[in-house]
Structure 1
Amino acid sequence: MRASTFFARRLLALPLLAAATVHAAPAAEKAAPKLVLVLVVDGLPAEQVQRYRGQFGQGGLRRLLDEGATFSNAHQAHGVTVTAVGHASILSGAYPYQHGVIGNNWIDPVSKNPVYCTEDARYTYIDEETKAGDGTSPMRLRVDTLGDGLRYASGNRAKVIAVSGKDRGAILLAGKTGTAYMYMDKSGNFASSSYYMAAHPQWVQQYRARRPQDGYYGKTWKPLLADSAYAGDAPDELFPATPGAPNRFPFSFYSDSGSLDADYYNRLKTSPFLDELTLEFARAAVEGERLGGTAGVTDLLGVSLSAHDYINHTYGPESKMSHDHLQRLDRMLADFFTYLDRKLGAGNVLVVLTADHGFPNTPEFVKAAKGDAGRVNAGALVASLNVALAAKYGVEKLVIAQSAPNFHLDYAAIDKLGVARAEVENTAAAFLRAQEGVAEVYTRSQFEADALGATRMGLLMRRTWNRALSGDLVVVNKPNWYFSSGSSGTSHGSPYAYDTNVPLLLSGRKWIKPGYYGQYAETVDIAPTLANLLRLRPPAGSEGRVLVEALQTP
């Protein structure tokens, strides 16, 4: 990647050039936060926070909005907006081309087999079943994180803990030297892996022995607010009901077997109860690890709340279910903030809240509004492309692997043909651009030559593409079209604003200047901003800027 792309983000926000180069005055002596709390709400579009803010209670999201800094134009500024990529970017300050997490899954460049972003066969979950491909370590994260720097600068006295409903949500926030705990689909427990320790500490064993996850069996999720509060949401009829996913309230949580089993624990994920459990475990971590309790040391707690993503995938962000879940999460956060105030003292916690990606509406919702939308089956797309390439070049399956949006060509077979690789790439790209739902296709030759053009889409896709890991063809679908082999729900992963625009809220009256900021910002700005406040060097791969406009003057 050319050095000029280091500054390419300025193409997205030219008016910020002057502000971005202003050096903050040296910080006066003031107490460092006892705890930095980084909250990631999986799959939360920024617009949902603004649309529903009038319905929030006191002390949760409203507290962050009223007492902290709100960046309304903040983005996960890369082209493949999925969970792993977003989480890897937040505390590394790096774009995917550098941190190496280019998707939730991708194709191994040597074996051409699929790999998962946090899989590592050398390690297993502690006291839990571990299957091939399960996420157990940050081995594929190629850069350090803010937490790693905090540990290093404190002589390893600082504690870095991350908790999530997903393994990738916890592992990629914890970095290389922190400790990750994740929800286990089959048992409902939270567990770590042998990458971090040989056995769980006593406080984790005590928490697991209580089995709070079992207390939700038979419980019902009903709307929190009056019916009139949901008047603007999509009608339930837009969401097809299936045996495992009914399409309207109330939702009851049980298993088909009638017992506490994997079916039940898996169903909990598409409910507010997963986030309740995650925050309960986070509270246990604060107590068990004495987070914020060492004089002169700042600890870091990362909490990735996964349920909103599962709910949006199933019903869409326009649904009553998504709306209600955010209201419930708001009240959960209020309780958690109140707990931290009591535990550590009001004003001693620096809070950041953001998301790993946003969400598009379901195609059915878009079509009902007379828009263009749909689903693209990547497997079928590759099959038709291979037929077209075989007709021209006489070789079957020149596309040998895919993990959408990345398609991989058989360059060895192409070389045997005596045809230039770029010619086959261009032929394939032209075919794909003509298919329904496809907006653009970028080729390896274009990436290698840095010839994607000065467009926002090109810039975001360039930031995502890693020379050693990414595909030879990278497909961008049209707005409101996405890769899926299913027929219901919605997904994310595009460079469009509905997927990139995420909340960015910072709160902590000693360090953050309250206000509503319309300046362009990115989630890669979080790590250097926190490093600035904590007087740490930024992570090695950081390309973000310090959000000086939101910092208190010394």
Structure 2
Amino acid sequence: MSRPAPLLRLLALTALAGSAVTSACAAAPVKYEQPKLVVVMVVDGLPNEQVMRYRDQFGQGGFRRLMEQGAWFTNAFQAHGVTVTAVGHTAVSTGAYPYRHGIINNYWYDANGKKVYCTEDGRYHYLGDGEQTQEHDGTSPANLRVDTIGDQLRYATGNQSKVVTVSGKDRGAILLAGKTGTAYMYMEKTGSFATSTFYMNAYPAWAEHFRAAHPQDRYYGQSWTKLLPDAAYAGDAPYVELANGKQSRFPFVFKSDSGKPDAKYYESLKGSPAVDELTLEFARAAIEGENLGRNPAGVPDLLGVSLSAHDIINHSFGPESAMSHDHLQRLDRMLANFFGYLDKRIGLSNVLVVLTADHGFTNSPAFSQARHIDALRIDPDKLVSGLDKTLADAYHVNKLVKSSMLPEIWLDDGLVEKNGLSRADVEARAARYLLAQPGIAQVYTRTQFENGGVGPTRLGLLMQRAWNRQLSGDLMVVPQPYSLFTKSLTNASHGAPYNYDANVPLLIMGSRWIKPGTYAGYTEVVDIAPTLAHLLRVRPPAAAEGRVLEQVLR
């Protein structure tokens, strides 16, 4: 019997193989598994430097778990020029910069010179007895001009996906929740977590149960002491003696003059590990009450958790302090417990976790000066009043400076026009004065921003991204590195475009979707939303300019 010719035999085998592959593909199509729950965590005021510096003291289940089981981006940045809470949280949820999303600061002034808070909306009020709503309290996302990753998830699933956020600060919750999610925030006067009438007219049963239990009262009479042995804090800066009468040394005792839980006591919890513990406890209640991660429609849910205490502690004592150090270690253990809970409740293999920060932190000027750095405290009132006098002397017109919220300064358009002045000339003269003042590094003007005259520098790019044509001021003032705009004689702060305020941790964990490892390439926080959109198979938010972090995807 003759053997088939080699070419005919090869063709026959190829045809058989192709048929087999086609049949296999038809019989077993590959199904993409979305995360059942996406958890977006923002640690308010956590510089990446602190994570790097204290990482050897972390336990096994918190930050270390994220570092070892997830993708750890060590060179990630809030890449805009005004590094504050509202702007940073908005970058996480929208993937956009302030010139697009409209949240230019925590506060700003409108065209009429009226002060505006980033999440205020007088049409709504806090829900519940005792939740008094003040003029500039955060109650809705009305000032947010674009949508978020949560909004896109809700849209893609016909509103079947649930988006719930919780934070110690109203802006932390509201700006993560977007237009269609539900935000809950800590109330300083009552210690409870509340929402506003923008979201609902009555609490769900699970939230009512949590509020009625008053877990915030359990800390009364307890103390915040060091978690680790004293030797672990040997490299931290000496205690800062606060001038405002607040206690400034361990142990910090939670109490009040009335001898019982009251507004003063509840406010003190906000600047301690207690508020983060309560926030995570409320997050667990929301997971169970809303059945997050077990959506009966088979679609993903999103939980946003903003942990606020680190920012407040850093403001009071500086990121170089033992208090900041200890809080980060306590937060690490809280995260370990929370991740353990997620594993038992949903299974971490079904959960995608993102952790980042809204901004970093500047060292306190006293600490920087001890290291021979020219760090100044620049009094904003004196700086602006000096500018106003200089302009009045030059143009014989009083009050050309309409309002200011540094780094922004607004000129009075009406006075400029009424007196026949050249806006560009007034701006330029103002910039020259400001640049001659101690501690000022750079000044950008509206004319420069509008006409593309900012220049090709990195600093110029960051400030251009931070400037919104309709909302921002006529002058943007940048301090010298390590200098602060503040009237306080003791506190630390943030808000500058420099690396200490902009370089933040970014960790993403999800075993089915993310390749573990340490990634040193340049990354921005605005990359989070497009990456989540890709993994959730939804449209990116409309104004997102970040990229998909494809190098970590399985």
Q: TM-score, normalised by structure 1?
A: 0.93
CA contact (8 A) 1:528 1:546 kept: yes
Q: 2:350 & 2:137 partners in 1: Cα distance?
A: 37
The separation in 2 between residues aligned to 1:130 and 1:241, in whole angstroms, is: 30
User: What SS does structure 2 have at the residue aligned with 1:380?
Assistant: helix
**Superposed displacement of residue 507, structure 1:** 0.3
What is the TM-score normalised by the length of structure 2? 0.93
Kindly state the Cα deviation for residue 413 of structure 1 after the two structures are TM-superposed: 1.4
Determine if contact 1:268/1:274 at 8 Å carries over to the other structure: yes
**Displacement after TM superposition at 1:416 (Å):** 2.7
2:501 maps to 499
Query: Aligned with 1:73: secondary structure?
Result: strand
Distance (whole Å) between structure 2 residues aligned to residue 97 and residue 314 of structure 1: 31
Task: Determine which of 383, 388, 391 is the counterpart of 2:390.
Answer: 388
Structure 1 equivalent of residue 116 of structure 2 = 115
After TM superposition, the runs of 4+ consecutive aligned structure 1 residues lying more than 3 A away are 241-244
Partner residue, 2:227: 224
RMSD (CA atoms): 1.1
Q: Secondary structure at the match of 2:433?
A: helix
Is the 2:359–2:502 Cα contact (8 Å) retained in structure 1?
A: yes
**Who is 2:408 aligned against?**
406
Whole-Å Cα distance in 2 between the matches of residues 74 and 401 of structure 1? 34
Post-superposition shift, 1:489?
Answer: 1.1
Shift of 1:364: 0.5
CA contact (8 A) 2:34 2:536 kept: yes
CA distance in 1, matches of 2:126, 2:352: 31
Q: How far 1:415 sits from its partner (Å)?
A: 2.1
The CA deviation string for residues 180-222 of structure 1, in whole angstroms up to 9 with x for no partner, is 0000000000000000000111111100010000000111011
1:161 corresponds to: 164
Cα deviation 1:371-397 (Å, max 9, x = unaligned): 111211111111111111111110111
Q: Is the 8 A contact 1:114 1:403 kept in 2?
A: no
Within 1, Cα distance between the matches of 2:259 and 2:432? Answer: 53
Q: Give yes or no for the alignment of 1:294 onto 2:312.
A: no
2:198 is the counterpart of 1:208: no
1:318-354: CA deviations, max 9, x gaps? 0000000000000000000000100002311100000
Residues 370 and 543 (structure 1 numbering): CA distance in 2 closer, same or farther, change over 3 Å?
Answer: same
Unaligned runs of 5+ in 2: 1-28
Q: Secondary structure at the match of 1:391?
A: helix
Post-superposition offset of 1:531: 0.4
How far the C-alpha of 1:483 sits from its partner, in A, is: 1.1
Amino acid paired to 1:173: L
On the 8 A contact 1:96/1:465 being kept in 2, the answer is yes
Match of 1:143 in 2: 146
Aligned to 1:70: 72
Are the structure 2 counterparts of residues 440 and 379 from structure 1 closer, same or farther at C-alpha, using a change threshold of 3 Å?
same
Cα deviation digits, residues 239-263 of structure 1 (max 9, x gap)? 1134653222111111122221111
In 1: Cα distance, 2:508 partner to 2:242 partner? 39
Q: 1:475-494 maps to which residues of 2 (within 5 A)?
A: 475-494=477-496
Query: What SS is found at the alignment partner of 1:502?
Result: strand
What is the correspondence of 1:125-524 to structure 2 with a 5 Å cutoff?
125-127=126-128, 128-236=131-239, 239-242=240-243, 244-295=245-296, 296-524=298-526
Residue-by-residue CA offset, 1:478-523 (whole Å, 9 max, x unaligned): 1111111111111111100000000000001100011110111100
1:525 corresponds to which of 502, 527, 530: 527
- Report SS of the residue matched to 1:52: helix
For the pair 1:93 / 2:106, whether they are aligned, the reply is no
Deviates more, 1:126-135 or 1:172-181: 126-135
Mean Cα deviation higher: 412-421 or 430-439 = 412-421
CA drift of 1:524 comes to 0.4
Deviation string 1:103-149 (CA, Å, 9 cap, x unpaired) is 0000012x211100000000000011111111000000000000001
Contact kept, 8 Å, 2:242 with 2:490, in 1: the verdict is no
Percent identical among aligned pairs is: 62
The residue matched to 1:519 in structure 2 has which SS?
A: coil
Q: Which amino acid aligns with 1:293?
A: R
1:14 corresponds to = none
Q: Take 1:417 and 1:207, find their aligned partners in 2: how far apart are those partners?
A: 60
| AA in 2 matched with 1:462 | Q
Deviation at 1:50, TM superposition (A): 1.1
- Structure 1 window deviating more from structure 2 (520-529 vs 28-37): it is 28-37
Aligned length: 523
Partner of 2:37: 35
Change (3 A) 1:499 1:28: farther
Q: 1:28 to 1:88 in 2, by over 3 A?
A: farther
Larger Rg: 2
In structure 2, distance between residues paired with 1:105 and 1:255:
30
**Structure 2 residue identity aligned to 1:458:** G
Letter in 2 for 1:204: A
Per-residue deviation at 1:417? 2.6
Counterpart of 2:15 in structure 1 is: none
Q: How far apart are the structure 2 equivalents of 1:309 and 1:422?
A: 38
Partner Cα distance (1:368, 1:415) in 2: 48
Q: Note if contact 1:107-1:401 (Cα within 8 Å) is conserved in structure 2.
A: yes
Equivalent pair of 1:79/1:495 in contact (CA under 8 Å): yes
The verdict on how the C-alpha distance between 1:240 and 1:260 changes in structure 2, with shifts beyond 3 A counting, is same
Aligned AA (2:241): P
Read off the aligned partner of 1:257 and give its amino acid letter: S
Q: Which residue, 536, 539, 543 being the options, matches 2:538?
A: 536
Structure-2 separation of matches of 1:259 and 1:433: 52
Q: Report SS of the residue matched to 2:159.
A: coil
Work out the CA distance in 2 between the residues paired with 1:194 and 1:200. Answer: 10
3-state DSSP class of the match of 2:349?
coil
CA distance in 1, matches of 2:293, 2:92: 21
- The offset of 1:525, in angstroms, is 0.2
> What is the alpha-carbon distance in structure 1 between the residues aligned to residue 256 and residue 102 of structure 2?
39
Q: Supply the distance in 1 between the matched residues of 2:97 and 2:218 (Cα, whole angstroms).
A: 41
AA matched with 2:546: G
SS of residue paired to 1:91: helix
Between stretches 462-471 and 294-303, larger displacement belongs to: 294-303
For 1:223, the aligned partner's letter is K
Q: Residues 141 and 174 of structure 2 are in contact (CA less than 8 Å); yes or no, is this contact kept in structure 1?
A: yes
**Secondary structure of residue in 2 paired with 1:303:** strand
Q: CA deviation at 1:288?
A: 0.5
Using the alignment, how far apart are the partners of 1:90 and 1:108 within structure 2? Answer: 25
